[in-house]
Structure formats: structure tokens, C-alpha cells
Structure 1
Amino acid sequence: MLTNDLITERLILKSTREEHAPLCLDMWLDDEIGKYLGDPPRDKADEKYMNFAKGIEEDETWYPFVAFLKDTNEFVGTGSIVPMEDKMHWDLGYCIHKKYWRQGYGTELIQALIDFGYAKGGRKFTADIAQENIASNAVIKKLGFTIEKEGSFNKQGTNITYDNYTYKLDLE
């Protein structure tokens, strides 16, 4: 769903548009960056996946964002937040380009998503993260999330299964 830009100290988060698809896909399908995502590897991505952004501006079920540096407009990553039926629970996801790992951009992006969801009535936020993804687990814990449950997910188009944590953050 299209919305106003979210502005943080160093980032501008813009609603994802069809023209952003190449940036997103190039990052998500990168073997290193996309390792712990549920997305398929590049050679297994089907036509539907490759065309994920068709009509994205009209999709009213979620808020996908692309993040850029305020100063240089360089692409940093993606984030999305999805309101559940009760509008109190929101699920989020994110991916930071490896060029920007370990510089605090993930924390900044996630906090912007939480603030956005909170302003729209969200009070419980969740995120699923592969247990092996040490850096992402550290970022989400830094923001006050705690483990709600454990599970697993399959990487699309592969036989790879990752154990994951579902993290939650309750705000009042």
C-alpha cells in the first residue's frame, strides 16, 4: 500500500513501486544476502516471484518499503510491515544490502517500521528469523524483541529448511 515516506536520521523509506523491483530482486536473490530468506535462489525464482512488484502500488494488504540513504540516495535495503486482521498485531520483515551490514541501518529501518505500525494502532510486532542468522537475531533483540516460539521454514525452490525464531515485541 502506498504511504508517505518514512524519514529517519539517515534513511528515507519509500513505498515500494514496480520500478524498484530490480533493486529488490538483485538483493534478495544474492546468494550471501538472501541466504536466510525464504525467497528462492536466483536459479529457482519463477515468473510469479520475478514479477512480485506487478500491481504492488494497489495492494492494500501490506506496506512494503525500500530504504535509501538520505544523503546520497543509495539503496540500503527493504522492509515491510503487514497488519493482521485485528490491526493490533503487525508482522515485519527486512533485508539490508551487505554493503551496509553492521552499520546500524537494520536497527534504524526496523524501528521506523515499528513506529509506523504503532501510529496505525499496532501494539504487537512479530518477526521470523532463521536461528542461524546471528546478526539479524542480535538486531531484533537489541530492539527489545523476545522469542515467542520456535519453528522452521523452507527456502522456496530448495530442500533447505531453517529452524527459526518468531520474535515478538509488545507495546502499550
Structure 2
Amino acid sequence: MKPDLFGSRVILRSIQMNDIDELFEIYSNIKTMEFASDPVFISKDTVKEMLESVIRLELSGESFEWAIADRTTNKVIGTCGIHIFSDCGQSCGVGCLLNSLYWQHGYMTEALSLLFFHSKSWGIKILFADIDEGNIRSQSLFKKLGFEDQNGQFQRTL
């Protein structure tokens, strides 16, 4: 079972069905979704389908996704997770999405730092992230977190 992870300003916790409104706020925002792999969500039903997929992938051990909640308000402001395990579970991909209203305030830096520390405790040694060429904000964030650009794929050894 994946634990809740506590930072000074954020909590990483399991995504719940009662998070649908806050997740829809994130996934329906054109600015937030500009570089996401999914299109902008047009209904809360799409969020419900996503949550059902998250549950299936976690049960199979293929992916683990956390809600990023503001510790003061408990509002879900983003998501982050690890997936695409390889090398006998020693390496995996990282994905994240943050409500654009919370950009440039250090929330994702804190959330990913918690995630990476926890990933190391699971025996993960290498993290990678595919970041679009035009997504300068995410590239800067991942470089700040110790990732190196390996021809368009960012990688970090824990």
C-alpha cells in the first residue's frame, strides 16, 4: 500500500473519488494541460474514468499516483506519480501536473522531492521524465531537481 507523504506545505495522498471537482479544475484548464499527454477534460465523467484507471494501474503495480494537496486548505492542486517500471523495478518514469494557479510557488518542487525520497525507499535507482521540447518550466524544474537532459529525456540517479 502506498503511504501518504507529508511536506511542509503539501501532502501527497491517494486520489479519492471525492476529489473529482478539484481534479476537474486542473484537467479542464487549457493552460495547465498545454503540455500534458492527455487532452483537456471536457466533463467530470472523464475525471471519473481517469480515477478508475488509476485504481486499476495501482492494483496491478504498473503505476502509483498521488494527489498533491495544499497542507493548509487540503485542496487538491495537482498530481504526481511513478510509472513504467523497468530494470526489475529499479527505474521508472515520473509524471506530474500542477494547477496553473499554483505555478512558480515551489509546490511541485516540494511534492516531487517527497516522491523521489519515497521512490528510493522502494529500491528505485533511476528516474526518467519525458518533457516536451517547448515545456521550459518543467525542464527547469527537473534540472533543479537533479535531472540531466539525455537527448530530450530527463534522467536522474537516486
TM range (shorter): 0.7 to 0.9
Partner of 1:84: 85
Q: Structure 2 length as normaliser, TM-score?
A: 0.86
The CA distance in 2 between the partners of 1:80 and 1:13, in whole Å, is 10
Residues 103 and 49 (structure 1), Cα distance of their counterparts in 2 relative to 1, 3 Å cut? closer
- Structure 1 vs Structure 2 CA RMSD: 2.1
Please name the residue that 1:52 is paired with. Answer: 50
Contact 1:18–1:54 (CA<8 Å) still a contact in 2? no
Q: How does 1:150-165 map to 2 (within 5 A)?
A: 165=152
- Per the alignment, in what secondary structure is the counterpart of residue 130 of structure 2? strand
User: Aligned residue pairs: how many?
Assistant: 153
Which blocks of at least 5 consecutive residues in structure 1 are unaligned?
A: 150-164
Matches within 5 A, 1:8-23: 8-23=7-22
Q: Which one-letter code corresponds to 2:122 in the other structure?
A: K
**1:134 corresponds to which residue?**
136
Q: Which runs of 4+ in 1 moved over 2 A?
A: 17-26, 47-50, 55-60
Task: Name the residue aligned to 1:30.
Answer: 29
Higher helix share: 2
In structure 1, the residue matched to 2:63 is 62
Which TM-score applies when normalising by structure 1?
A: 0.79
Query: What are the superposed Cα offsets for residues 114-136 of structure 1, whole Å, 9 maximum, x if unpaired?
Result: 11111100010011111211111
* Residue 30 (structure 1) shift: 1.1
| Worse overlay, 74-83 or 138-147 | 74-83
Q: How far has the Cα of 1:20 moved from its partner?
A: 2.4
